[in-house]
């Protein structure tokens, strides 16, 4: 869906984060909200503000007196149900999108016919039944639970392809793969000029190229990390009587521009079975649950693999870093790189068309490739070294036994233990800890914590780094499933952020479970994969 110019100004500040194409992806996104936990509503608020297409809230909880003070979505509404009041609040926040309330119990709603059709992401208060059902229905979900200062977020569902990881990556001049036009241009730049002004006009890339070719001639091979000092000495040889800024700049670029392996290793994703299948199996067909974004991703990945196998390098992006020196030379360089980028893009495009022809799913791939404009291809090339697929854990909860493997931040391991203990407590006692008497629940929860740590980690609980302190257990019990505003702000922000990542296919979401403990001392947060 195109972004109209009136919304461009309203969404201006975020379009500067994810671009107009990212905003367009949001403008066609449908999000289903199951339940009205305050963190879920916070996430819904953030998504509504971000300008998604539609938001459906499914809930049948009545407003009780306490909500009016502690849940700002219902304050002052005078309504009977939380969902009804929340929808009104959300519509006031963004009147330009579709927001609906469906008066139903989420558990019965999700099993009704067509309820989840067209839903891109569901956000909900964690519930094993709902999460499992959404998983089976092929709907990605992000669920949350809080307990006073504690909370967690877990994304579930099928693997997610990231077209634009947008990881900060240094611009690669690809000097080890210089092509005739670039070589001819760099060699036509003299470095033995008389006048100092003329010397300062030479951009650093010229020195880098000369040092590289001199090294290769001397040693018969291209430099690697141990050759750092030798290359630096060669570059320092260009200095005249003082530390000229262009030579200094070249010295800072040795590591990023000259020491990379001559043949880059394939990004891990290019070894994925889908890539192999696209290239080798003539009858390969994408499954029905695969959307166009994924078809594009895998087709590009397969084309990239063919490109890299042929050229032993990643494609040129066309961007070069700022350099001191003459603008004229810089502009010429820019054009040389842009021409190369255009021919690399054309090569990749031809590969994609070729894959469409040879593969069983040719119509589907051909349509996707035909819809891909130069802008998208440029973005794919920019992210070529970082293409990523994120898999989400398939188990409903983090199994405390995973903690025994180590590598988990202790405070986060402790939180995972507390939540697991709380679930066990609830199944024994019929209520979450803290809802009856605090003192007896502290004792009850402590016992369960001890036995879980012993079972899971196989250590004496007192020695285990995953053993929560008495203070932490007490705070957990006091939390008693309270929806604390600052905790919900933090978690609702993260949930919405993860949803935006899924919807735009930009930035890399986390695949594991995120635990947050807004300890009265210092907040901690980490993901257990």
Partner 1 sequence: MTRTSTYKRLYGKDGYQKIRDSRIFVVGAGGIGCELLKNIAVVGFGHVELIDLDTIDVTNLNRQFLFKRKHVGQPKAVVAKEAALALNKDMTIVAHHANVKDDKFNIAFYRQFNVVINALDNADARKHVNRMCLLSNVPLIDAGTNGLRGNVITIIPYLTECYECAAKPPPKTLPICTIRSVPSKPEHCIAWAKYLYQRVFGETDDTNVLSDITLASLYEKDADPTAVAHALVRKLFRDDVIAARDTVESNMVWSFGPPRPVELGDDDVIKPVEITTLSDTEVLAEEMNMRAFVEAVCVLYRMAFNHTGEKASPLSFDKDEPVGMAFVAAAANLRMICYKIDPITIFDARSIAGSIVPAVSTTNSMVSGLAIHRAATLITKGKPTSLDDPVLRTNYVTFFGAKPLQAIIPLGANPACQVCGRKATGMHCTATSTLGDLVDVLEKKLEDDDVAIEAGGTLLWTGDETAARKRTLVDLGIADSHTINVTDSDDKEYVLVALYRSHGPIELDEMIGYDPAPLDDDDEGLEMKRQPEPGSDSDVELEESDGEIEVIEL
Q: Which is nearer to partner 1, 49 or 376 (CB)?
A: 49
Q: Which is nearer to partner 1, 83 or 479 (CB)?
A: 479
- The nearest distance, CB 507 to partner 1, in angstroms, is 6
Q: How far is the CB of 244 from partner 1 (least distance, A)?
A: 17
Instruction: Identify whether the C-beta of residue 246 lies closer than 8 Å to the C-beta of residue 204.
Output: yes
Minimum CB–partner distance for residue 345 and partner 1 (Å): 19
Choice from 28, 62, 70, 391 touching partner 1 (CB under 8 A): 70
Binding partner 1 (rule: CB under 8 A), the pick from 283, 407, 430, 520 is: 520
Structure tokens at 122: 């569901």
**Residues that contact partner 1, how many (by CB under 8 A):** 73
Site for partner 1 in 31-50 (CB under 8 A): 42, 45-46, 49-50
194 binds partner 1 (CB under 8 A): no
Task: For residue 202, state whether it binds partner 1 (rule: CB under 8 A).
Answer: no
Q: What part of residues 73-92 is at the interface with partner 1 (CB under 8 A)?
A: 75-76, 92
496 binds partner 1 (CB under 8 A): yes
Residue closer to partner 1, measured from CB, 179 or 330: 330
Q: Looking at beta carbons only, is 72 or 266 nearer to partner 1?
A: 72
Residue 43 C-beta: closest distance to partner 1, Å: 9
- For partner 1, the binding residues in 91-130 under the rule CB under 8 A are 92-95
Q: Specify the stretch interacting with partner 1 by CB under 8 A; choose among 102-110, 115-123, 377-385, 506-514.
A: 506-514
H or E segment at 418? helix 410-429
Q: Is 239 in the site for partner 1 (CB under 8 A)?
A: no
Q: How far is CA 22 from CA 226, 285, 503, in A?
A: 43, 28, 8
CA 389 to CA 161: how far, in whole Å?
4
Report if residue 14 touches partner 1, rule: CB under 8 A.
yes
> By three-state DSSP, how is residue 496 classified?
helix
Main-chain phi, psi angles of 272, to 5 degrees: -65, 145
Task: Give me the torsion for CA of 397, 403, 408, 413, rounded to 10°.
Answer: 70
Residue 13 or 405: the one with the smaller Cβ distance to partner 1 is 13
Among 72, 107, 216, 424, binds partner 1 (CB under 8 A): 72
Q: Which is nearer to partner 1, 178 or 528 (CB)?
A: 528
- The stretch among 16-24, 174-182, 256-264, 349-357 that binds partner 1 (CB under 8 A) is 16-24
**Per CB under 8 A, 13 contacts partner 1:** yes
The answer to the question of residue 490 lying near partner 1 (CB under 8 A) is yes
361-420 residues in contact with partner 1 (CB under 8 A) are none
Q: Is 12 in the site for partner 1 (CB under 8 A)?
A: yes
Closest CA to 44 of 133, 139, 116, 144: 144
Does 485 sit near partner 1 (CB under 8 A)? yes
Residue 514 binds partner 1 (CB under 8 A): yes
C-beta closer to partner 1: residue 149 or 284: 149
Give the number of other Cβ atoms within 10 Å of residue 311's Cβ.
Answer: 14
Pick one of 244, 510, 513, 528: the residue that binds partner 1 (CB under 8 A).
Answer: 510
Options 113, 195, 328, 363; binder of partner 1; rule CB under 8 A: 328
CB of 412 to partner 1, least distance (A): 10
Q: Quick one: which H or E segment has residue 55?
A: strand 54-58
- Give the torsion through C-alpha atoms of 498, 501, 507, 508, to 10 deg: 50
The CB-of-211 to partner 1 minimum distance in angstroms stands at 27
Q: In degrees rounded to 5, what are phi and psi of residue 519?
A: -50, 140
Task: Give the distance, in angstroms, between the CA of residue 310 and the centroid of all CA atoms in the same chain.
Answer: 30
51 binds partner 1 (CB under 8 A): yes
Residues 152-191 close enough to bind partner 1 by CB under 8 A: 166-168
Q: How far apart are CA 176 and CA 6, in angstroms?
A: 47
Cα dist from 405 to 309, 319, 511, 528, whole Å: 38, 43, 18, 11
- Enter the DSSP assignment of 238: T
> CA nearest 380: which of 166, 158, 178, 159?
166
Q: Which candidate, 479, 464, 481, places its Cα nearest to that of 520?
A: 479
Query: Over the range 103-141, which residues count as b (16 or more CB within 10 Å of their CB) and which as e?
Result: ebebeebbeeeebbeebbbbbbbbbeebbebbbebebbb
Per-residue burial over 56-71, b if 16 or more Cβ lie within 10 Å, else e, is bbbbbeebeeebeeeb
CA proximity to 31, closest of 92, 107, 112, 118: 118
Q: Is 476 in the site for partner 1 (CB under 8 A)?
A: no
Query: Contact region for partner 1 (CB under 8 A) — 6-14, 113-121, 291-299, 460-468?
Result: 6-14
């Amino acid at each position: 869906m195109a972004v109209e110019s009136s919304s461009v100004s309203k969404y201006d500040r975020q379009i500067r984060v994810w671009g107009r194409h990212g905003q367009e992806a949001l403008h066609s996104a449908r999000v289903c909200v199951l339940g009205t936990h305050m963190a879920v509503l916070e996430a819904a608020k953030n998504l509504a503000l971000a300008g998604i297409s539609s938001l459906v809230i499914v809930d049948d909880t009545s407003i009780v007196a306490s909500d009016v003070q502690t849940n700002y979505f219902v304050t002052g509404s005078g309504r009977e149900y939380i969902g009804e009041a929340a929808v009104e609040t959300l519509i006031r926040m963004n009147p330009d999108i579709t927001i609906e309330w469906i008066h139903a119990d989420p558990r019965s709603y999700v099993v009704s016919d067509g309820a989840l059709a067209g839903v891109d992401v569901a956000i909900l208060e964690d519930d094993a039944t709902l999460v499992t059902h959404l998983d089976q229905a092929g709907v990605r979900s992000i669920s949350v639970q809080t307990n006073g200062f504690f909370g967690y977020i877990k994304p579930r569902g099928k693997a997610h392809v990231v077209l634009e990881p947008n990881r900060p990556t240094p611009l690669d001049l690809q000097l080890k793969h210089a092509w005739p036009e670039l070589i001819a241009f760099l060699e036509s730049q003299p470095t033995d000029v008389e006048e100092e002004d003329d010397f300062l006009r030479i951009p650093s890339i010229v020195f880098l190229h000369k040092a590289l070719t001199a090294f290769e001639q001397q040693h018969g091979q291209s430099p690697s990390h141990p050759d750092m000092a030798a290359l630096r000495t060669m570059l320092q040889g260009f200095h005249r009587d003082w530390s000229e800024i262009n030579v200094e700049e070249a010295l800072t670029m040795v590591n990023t521009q000259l020491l990379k392996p001559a043949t880059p290793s394939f990004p891990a994703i290019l070894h994925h079975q889908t890539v192999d299948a696209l290239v080798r199996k003539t009858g390969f067909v994408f499954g029905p649950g695969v959307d166009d974004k994924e078809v594009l991703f895998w087709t590009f990945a397969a084309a990239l693999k063919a490109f890299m196998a042929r050229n032993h390098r990643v494609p040129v992006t066309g961007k070069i870093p700022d350099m001191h020196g003459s603008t004229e030379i810089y502009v010429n360089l820019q054009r040389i790189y842009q021409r190369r980028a255009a021919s690399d893009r054309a090569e990749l495009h031809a590969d994609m068309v070729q894959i469409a022809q040879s593969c069983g799913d040719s119509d589907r791939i051909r349509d996707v490739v035909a819809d891909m404009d130069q802008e998208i291809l440029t973005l794919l090339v920019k992210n070529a070294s970082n293409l990523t697929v994120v898999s989400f854990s398939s188990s409903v909860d983090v199994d405390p036994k995973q903690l025994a493997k180590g590598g988990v931040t202790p405070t986060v391991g402790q939180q995972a233990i507390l939540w697991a203990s709380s679930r066990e407590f609830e199944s024994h006692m019929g209520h979450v800890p803290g809802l009856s008497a605090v003192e007896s629940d502290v004792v009850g929860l402590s016992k369960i914590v001890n036995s879980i740590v012993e079972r899971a980690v196989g250590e004496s609980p007192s020695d285990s780094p995953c053993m929560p302190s008495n203070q932490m257990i007490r705070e957990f019990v006091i939390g008693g499933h309270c929806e604390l505003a600052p905790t919900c702000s933090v978690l609702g922000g993260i949930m919405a952020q993860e949803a935006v990542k899924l919807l735009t296919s930009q930035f890399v979401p986390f695949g594991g479970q995120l635990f947050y403990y807004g300890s009265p001392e210092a907040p901690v947060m980490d993901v257990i994969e």
